[in-house]
Structure 1
Amino acid sequence: MPINNSEEKYGSGCSRRAGPSLKTRAVRYLARREYSRCELREKLRPYLQESQSEEELDTVLDELEQKGYLSDERFARSRVRLRAARYGNARLAYELRSSGVSNELIDQALDDLGQSEGQRARALWSKRFGQIAQDYKERAKQMRYLLARGFSMEIARKVVQADDFDDAF
């Protein structure tokens, strides 16, 4: 007589399957949002079975790329579009680089943005501060705010010190 339902279903010597395959997991992750190849690889690595190797994981990722489910270019464009309103080019490039995206794809994604970095910095500054700094302390605070979000020193200086924003960019 079986002790529990799993013995009834699978027999006494067998255990349940260890869960969805790597490919199934990968497709589920990609259905939620875009991933870079490097990010998806790290996300799937803990699910490698004892009998599976890193090469099998690479094979799954290659297959997903061939079918168009996985694309570093699409990931880079998506990430840049999503975060461009709040961050400068340096920060966006850093995030993409840490996700394993190549430099040429990063440059391409940043070039495809509709607004310049100066326009984005000005919009962010206007939303946060709205008026030109009255003293050095306030100007330094505004500069730090923009610099911490990855805008260049030149852009931050133009935004914080400009009297008429239309002429600044």
Structure 2
Amino acid sequence: MIGRLTGQLSEKNPPQVLVDVNGVGYEVDVPMSTFYNLPSLGERVTLLTHFVVREDAQVLFGFLTGAERATFRQLIKITGVGPRMALSLLSGLSVSELAQAVSLQESGRLVKVPGIGKKTAERLLLELKGKLGPDLALPAHVATDAQADILQALVALGYSDREAALALKSLPADATVSEGIKLALKSLAR
């Protein structure tokens, strides 16, 4: 019904913003990933939206990117995952981090998000598998299963996705998992 809003950003109260569109103020709930990238108050903003109508409320959810909105829509299709839980997931993990967690079947990353328990995380992994797009799942340079395993191991050791991806770039393409992890750890230690 309402697919996009363009107007002046009037208020920012996480997780809600107020967008003034020609004198009409729209209250929009946004994930924190969108909230942190919003312009300053009084500036022009465009949000892609998803309108949810329930018996007791009408809520507008907003996103800066099409990937966020598409992921949100995919999440709310899952039984037991409502708009608030989907917003919480997108606030705790970026779209690419969520896609990576699904492709690597890492329920531990999902459980870290408030409101997501072990059973819900496992259901999310099962139902999202293959639905978030392979282009979002892993960095483009992850070409082999060994590289994916090395990346997963580095993240499990506490390195950020960015650090792990940078370390992976410096490895030879034919590195085995154990050899790759050792070399990556050496490069990260510098």
- Name which one, 1 or 2, has greater alpha-carbon Rg: 1
Higher strand share: 2
Higher helix share: 1
Q: Considering Cα pairs closer than 8 Å and 6+ residues apart, tell me whether 1 or 2 has the greater RCO.
A: 1
Identify whether the pair has TM-score above 0.5, normalized to the shorter chain: no
Query: Normalising to structure 1: TM-score of the pair?
Result: 0.31
